[in-house]
Amino acid sequence: MLKSTNKTGTNAYELNVSISAQVFEEAIVKAYNKKKKNISVPGFRKGKATRHMIESLYGKGVFYEDALESIYPEAVDSALKESALNIVDYSVEVKEMGQNGVDMLVKATVKPEEIDVGEYKGLEAVKAEPVVTVEEVDAEINRLRERNSRMITVEDRAAQNGDIAVIDFEGFVDGKAFEGGKGENHSLTLGSGQFIPGFEEQIIGHSVNDEFDVNVTFPEEYTPELAGKEAAFKVKVHEIKLKELPELDDDFAKDVGEDYETVEDLKNGISQDMLHHKQEHAKNDFEEELLRKIANNLKAEIPEVMFEKRAEDNKNSFAQRISQQGIDLDTYLMYLGMDRNKFDEDMLNQAKEQVKVQLALEKIAEIEGITASEEEIEEEIKKMAENYGIDIDTIKKIVAEESVAADIKGRKAVEVIAASAKPIKPEEKKEQEDKEEKPTEEAAKPAPKKNKG
């Protein structure tokens, strides 16, 4: 039960919370019944000693901690809800515990109570006007043809640039084989730059069953043991393969998608899809720039714990994502050449902007009277269930409706901001920046000298 709520500082409160003697006694009885079977008392078999005998031997409060542990979470949660405070962090201190019940002091940190978002309408931000070129469409079609290509074996000619040569090779430096310099039935795409410079070029012109030497020099930036050294590779060509692309015709268009009957349909469809993607990207960039400006303009005393918690959530989420690829966070950072401190610093900076944006959107939603209806919340939960392949009831157990409602109101707030914003073209932004960097001719002129006397 919440007995009192007292403000103790900026974004700080103390809540006096109590658990009645009756509720605490009931919890003690449950703790006794659960623990008694493991407690030894002289003269009694395990599990047969009375509560009075156990308390006489081990102390009156022998079951207090277990009893409190079973009921305090619900008691504290109930008091926090009753306080109606926007609590972001709290700690609990037990002041008294005994036959008269339990008294606790909850020290709570709340969201900023005073937030000034400044002007959030009529802001300027860059918004590109995307176009799709013929070259981009052709490149996408070529990717589709590559994806639908097949390998054919070449028997009547020597290897050419772009072919795939299946080779055995073994490398020697100063007449001795070196570690990692041997391979069998290796498929090498000629011209890919996969091997040491000069290696692939010397495969070109050779035919199946040819055995020959390839002479190369290791680059200076190679491993210390081999850097700058000359090497000879004994090579045998087993097979030459060529990637055959499907003809770009109406049959190919039909194979790509049921909506396409002709090559022209395919090109138009790809062009529309690419344009839609670019427009979405431009819209997202536009909104992100607006939100950065709003975050920078936000005035509020934000508890540091809000930044720290968001940063920790971000780190855990990131670590979970890369773990699905079979790599842990420390190994990932090692590959990037980034130390943990720099990673933590970047995550904290990211979290600060995210928290500021979240607070600003909540305030704007309040100012604008934005709400989330039950139908909208239900529809959003339905989408989440479809996206994750989970039934709706399970989603409702995992995600609180308040969280879903907050997301909906946040999106609506972004729409309000974007609808009133002034989009400017990238080239206009560049002109503005150039003017800011380059002083005007008048400003560049020396100041006139004053007349003496």
The string of pLDDT tens digits covering residues 327-355 is 888 888 888 888 889 999 999 999 999 99
Residue 434 Cα distances to 51, 123, 320, 427, angstroms = 83, 20, 43, 10
**Can you tell me the distance from the alpha carbon of 78 to that of 47, in angstroms, rounded to the nearest whole number?**
34
Q: Which of 415, 401, 395, 398 is nearest to 373 (CA)?
A: 401
Whether the model clears a pTM of 0.85, i.e. scores above it, the answer is no
Round to whole Å and give the CA distance between 97 and 318.
42
Q: How far is CA 144 from CA 148, 149, 253, 267, in A?
A: 6, 9, 10, 12
Give the residue range(s) of CATH 3.10.50.40 domains in the chain. 150-244
pLDDT > 70? residue 440: no
Give the pLDDT of residue 35: 87
The mean pLDDT value for 76-98 works out to 94
Residue 233, both tokens: 């590779």
- The angle at the Cα of 205, spanning 200 to 210, to the nearest 5 degrees, equals 90
Check the CA dihedral 169-171-175-176 and report its sign.
negative
Instruction: For residues 408-421, give the mean pLDDT.
Output: 96
Residue 411: in which H helix or E strand, if any? helix 401-420
Average pLDDT of 314-325? Answer: 91
pLDDT value at residue 8 = 95
Asked whether the predicted pLDDT for residue 112 surpasses 80, the reply is yes
Average pLDDT of the chain is 90
Assign 202 a pLDDT band (cuts: 50, 70, 90). Answer: very high
Q: How far apart are CA 20 and CA 97, in angstroms?
A: 10
Q: For position 438, what pLDDT does the model report?
A: 63
CATH of 150-244, one of 1.10.10.60, 3.30.70.100, 3.30.70.20, 3.10.50.40: 3.10.50.40
**Model confidence at 453, in pLDDT bands (50, 70, 90)?**
very low
Every domain of the chain with CATH number 3.30.70.1050 lies at 2-110
Give me the CATH topology for the region 2-110: Alpha-Beta Plaits (3.30.70)
Strands 150-154, 2-9: pairing kind: unpaired
DSSP state of 370: -
Mean pLDDT of 113-142: 95
What gap in Å lies between CA 125 and CA 209, rounded to an integer? 63
Q: pLDDT digit string (tens) for 143-200? A: 999 899 999 999 889 999 999 999 999 999 999 999 889 999 999 999 998 899 999 9
